[in-house]
Amino acid sequence: MLIDHLRQEFRKVPMTEHLSVDEQIVPFKGVSSLKQYNPKKPSKWGYKIFVLADDKGYVYDFRPYTVQSRRLPDLSFQSDKQLASKGRGSYDEWMTTSDSGVTTYAVKWYDNKAVCLSSTFATSQPQQTCVRYDRKRKEEVEVPRPNIVKLYNEHMGGVDLQDQLLTYYRMSFRSRKYYLRLVFHLFDMAVVNSWLLYRRSAVSLKIPEKKQYALCDFKLKLAFSLTASGKDLRKKRGRPSTDAVKVNFEKKKKCGRATKPIPEDDIRKDGIGHFPAFSANRATCKLPGCKSKVRMYCLKCNVYLCCDQKKNCFLDFHQ
C-alpha cells in the first residue's frame, strides 16, 4: 500500500531533535465522506492528516485524521468554562499511558481560547510567562504559560513550511475519483522530502547555496530522470538522422548557449539507448579528467565522448 510504503521510507531517515505534530489539509472539494472543513486554513476543504515533521519541514510520519483529546485513555480535562473562570493562563495537566506503554503528558491551556497539547517528554514545568494584550485594561499584561506551549511555539513551524513548499508546484488535475487527490499529495510530499534531504546533504558537503538546485529545478531534473531512465530515446523506426542532429549542434554553437550538463547516473548507466553519433563540430570530452576534443557524442546523453585506440571514454562514461 502506498501510504504504508511512504511512511516506512520516511522513517528510515534519522530524526532530528526538534519535532512537532500538526494538522495538514489536502485540498479537495469533491464528494467524499472523509472531507473536512477548516475555515482557518488557506485550503478550507479537504482531507485532514496529522504530520510529524522537524523544524526544517521534513516529514517523518503522517496519519489520517483520527486523534481527539477525549480519545486519550484516563483523561478528563476541565471544560473551557471552568478554565475561563480561573482567568487567562490557567491550565489543566494530565499524565496517561498508551496501550504500547508510552507515557504521554497532556496539557489544556486557556489563552484566548482553550488549546490542547501532548508530548512524550515536555510538561507544564518549568512554567513561564508571556505577554498578551488585555482589551479590558487596554494594556499588555503577563500571562502564565506552560513550558510545553513555549517549546511547541518554537519548533512547530515545520509542518507549515512543508505546506508552503507543497503549494509552490503542486500537481494539478481534475478527476471525480476522490482518492487521487490524496495519492498525488503523497507524491508531492515525497518529492519535497527528497529535496530537503538533498539540501541537507549539500550543506554537509559545503556546497554553496548558489550552486544548489532550487525546488523547481530539482523537480524538473527528477522528472527528466524518471522519464529517461531505462528507456531508449531514439525514434521507433530506425536511428534519428545524423544530419538533423548535426544541425542542432551547429545552432547551439552559433547562438553561444552553454553545453548540457552531465546526466544523472540513473540515466547514463541504465545501459539502454546509448549509441554513438558524429558531429561536424568538436567539443571537449565530458568524462571527468579527459580534455580531448572529439566529434563523437552519445545520442541519449547528448554529450561528447572519446573512443579510439588509446582510450574508450564512451564506455567508461556509461559504466
Question: Could you tell me if residue 29 is inside a domain?
Answer: yes
Decide if pLDDT at 219 tops 80. yes
- Residue for cell digits 511512504? 6
How many other CB atoms sit within 10 Å of the CB of residue 179?
A: 13
Q: Are 40 and 175 in the same domain?
A: yes
Structural domain includes residue 45: yes
Same-domain status, 10 and 136: no
Range of the domain at 271: 242-317
The contacts of residue 172 (CB under 8 Å, 6+ apart) are none
What pTM was estimated for this model as a whole? 0.61
pLDDT confidence of residue 167: 83
Does residue 250 carry a pLDDT above 50? no
Q: Where are the beta strands (DSSP E) in 16-172?
A: 19-27, 36-37, 45-54, 59-64, 91-97, 103-110, 114-119, 128-134, 139-145
Looking at 155, 185, 220, the residue that finishes a domain is 155
The span from the CA of 172 to the CA of 27, in Å, is 11
**What pLDDT is recorded for position 256?**
47
pLDDT computed for residue 260 by the predictor: 61
Q: Determine the Cα–Cα distance for residues 312 and 319; give it in Å rounded to an integer.
A: 11
When pLDDT is cut at 50, 70 and 90, the band that residue 21 belongs to is confident
277 falls within a domain: yes
DSSP alpha helix (H) spans, the chain: 2-10, 80-86, 147-155, 157-168, 178-204, 215-228, 242-255, 265-268, 313-317
Helical packing angle, 215-228 and 157-168, nearest 10°: 60
> Which has more pLDDT, 54 or 240?
54
- The SS3 assignment for 238 reads coil
* Whether 60 and 193 share a structural domain: yes
Mapping DSSP onto H, E and C, the string for 271-312 reads CCCCCEEEEEEEEECCCCCCCCEEEEEECCCCCECCCCCCCC
Do residues 148 and 78 both lie within one domain? yes
The residues that bridge with 61 in the sheet, in sequence order, are 52
Same-domain status, 47 and 86: no
| Mean pLDDT over each residue of the chain, to the nearest integer | 79
106 with 116: CB under 8 angstroms? yes
* C-alpha cell belonging to residue 227: 522519464
Give the pLDDT score at 128. 83
Residue 237 pLDDT > 70: no
Q: Is residue 104 a part of any domain in this protein?
A: yes
Alpha-carbon torsion, ordered 45, 183, 1, 9, to 10 deg? -100
Q: What is the pLDDT of residues 90-105, one digit of tens each?
A: 888 888 777 777 788 8
Dist. CA 125–CA 86, nearest whole Å: 19
* pLDDT score, position 88: 83
277-287 per-position pLDDT tens digit: 888 888 888 88
Report helix, strand or coil for 10: helix
Please say whether the beta carbons of 155 and 19 come within 8 A.
yes
CA dist 157 and 175 (Å) reads 32
| Co-location of 79 and 151 in the same domain | yes
Q: Assess whether 84 and 124 both reside in one domain.
A: yes
How confident is residue 122, by pLDDT bands cut at 50, 70 and 90?
confident
- The answer as to whether 222 is a domain residue is no
Q: Is residue 124 part of a domain?
A: yes
The mean pLDDT value for 48-76 works out to: 77
**What whole-number distance in Å separates Cα of residue 169 and Cα of residue 219?**
9
Do 106 and 174 have their domain in common?
A: no
Residue 57 to residue 154: CA distance in whole angstroms: 14
216: in domain: no
What is the amino acid identity at position 60? Y
Q: Answer whether residue 217 is part of any domain.
A: no
Same domain, 140 and 177: no
Query: Looking at the structure, do residues 175 and 130 belong to the same domain, yes or no?
Result: no
Residues 186 and 46 in one domain: yes
* Number of domains comprising the chain: 3
State how far the Cα of 264 lies from the Cα of 286, in Å rounded to an integer.
13
What pLDDT sits at residue 243? 47
Is 139 in the same domain as 251? no
